[in-house]
Amino acid sequence: MMGAVTAASPAAPVSPAPAGGVDAGIRAGMIWFNGAMVPQAEASVSVLSHALHYGTSVFEGLRAYATRRGPAVFRLQEHTRRLFDSARIMRMPVPFSEDVVNDAILSTVRVNGWPACYIRPLIWRGGQTLGVNPMPCPVQAMVATWEWGAYLGEEALLQGARLITSAWVRLPAGAMPGKAKAGGNYVNSALARMDAISAGFDEALLLDQNGFVAEGTGENIFFVRNGTLYAIASSVNLEGITRDSVIQIARRMGLRVEETMATRDQLYAADEVFMTGTAAEVTPVSEIDYRPIGSGRAGPLSLELRQRYLKAVQGEDEQFVHWLTDVNP
């Protein structure tokens, strides 16, 4: 009988809850939790939190980089602005100002002493009553930090990532607010990412409901053709801050940059494809749907833009130092 548990196929053992409740695999040190700095083990919430049941959260992802002046957060104001825009879209009244959240981000990096780290602010509907209506539930907030290396692995970074178009369509604009970085949107991303990984690929390429390229599960997409850089524009993708940074860096290099919608076959025939995101930074793509892109290796312009992006985030490019906020002023 399908699914029956026999002596030969024992049920997976039930693992005991880890001491402290949560996330034993992530070392986040001190977490800013509703206005106080607490150890990770104490930053826990009720299992009856609205967000846990219905995905009613909004979040951000930032990075702090090691610079000559110590750690600095990349494009802090822009990320906090987008976090509050996401909250507005989700009708979540945030009990803190943008300035308080900016301070919380800088303090969390500072108290943990990270030279460089990933930063995850999260705002969510907590526990009060269950039922779909979130409005009676309190809005809570936290900022956690941890060390996070190459998003799709070192190999994808060096050789170029291998992508497969997902059978899951990116959430249509009439169904979900793609411009909000809302927790619930990431159910779509998680489904696509699981299937891509199970099929042996690094990442999924998501199309919109009309077949146009939308984005990766956590990255924006660019391509190069005949020397022009094209940034994918879509009504359903996230307006990436890395995407904006790379467009500005490319224009300063004197490259021709256009924002455009594109079909998957335009990517197949491109000279180069790469992905951008705070976690992924600039990750070259070497293959999509079994078709090698260009030479089938990380493209030269992708690698050059990656180098220039890394210089900018580390404060090594004078033209873009205004993007950095020192953690220890």
Residue 205 in contact with residue 233, Cβ under 8 Å?
A: no
Distances in whole angstroms, Cα of residue 293 to Cα of each of 5, 258, 262, 288, 308: 46, 20, 15, 7, 22
C-alpha to C-alpha distance for 35 and 126, rounded to whole angstroms = 15
Helix/strand/coil for 191: helix
Minimum Å distance from CB 312 to ligand PPE?
A: 13
What is the nearest approach in angstroms of ligand PPE to the Cβ of residue 93?
24
CA-CA distance, 47 to 293, in Å (whole number)? 46
Backbone angles phi, psi at 192, to 5 degrees: -65, -40
Shortest reach from residue 237's CB to ligand PPE, in Å:
6
Q: Least distance from C-beta 208 to ligand PPE, angstroms?
A: 13
Nearer to ligand PPE, 134 or 218 (CB): 218
284 neighbors 152 (Cβ within 8 angstroms): no
CB of 119 to ligand PPE, least distance (A): 9
> Among residues 87 and 279, whose Cβ is nearest to ligand PPE?
279
Based on CB atoms, which residue is closest to ligand PPE, 273 or 279? 279
| C-alpha distances in Å from residue 274, one per residue of 30, 38, 220, 224, 295 | 34, 39, 9, 9, 13
The residues, any chain, with a CB within 8 Å of residue 168's CB and separated by 6 or more, are: 188, 191, 192, 195, 204, 206
Q: Which is nearer to ligand PPE, 137 or 196 (CB)?
A: 196
Residues 308, 73, 84: CA angle, nearest 5 degrees: 115
Alpha-helix runs per DSSP H in the chain:
50-54, 76-89, 98-112, 154-159, 185-198, 241-252, 264-268, 300-313
Rg (alpha carbons) of the chain, rounded to whole number: 21
Q: How far is the CB of 6 from ligand PPE (least distance, A)?
A: 38
Residue 140 · residue 124 · CB < 8 Å: yes
Which of the residues are catalytic?
181
Binding residues (CB under 6 A) for ligand PPE: these are 61, 189, 215, 218-220, 237-238, 240-243, 276-280
Residue 320 is classified by DSSP as G
Give the pairing type, strands 203-207 and 161-165: parallel
What residue is closest to ligand PPE based on CB? 61
Q: Which of 48, 116, 54 is nearest to 310 (CA)?
A: 116
| Closer Cβ to ligand PPE, 137 or 201, answer by number | 201
Closer residue to ligand PPE, CB minimum distance, 42 or 155: 155
Shortest distance (Å) from residue 128 CB to ligand PPE: 27
**Nearest residue (CB) to ligand PPE, 32 versus 137:** 32
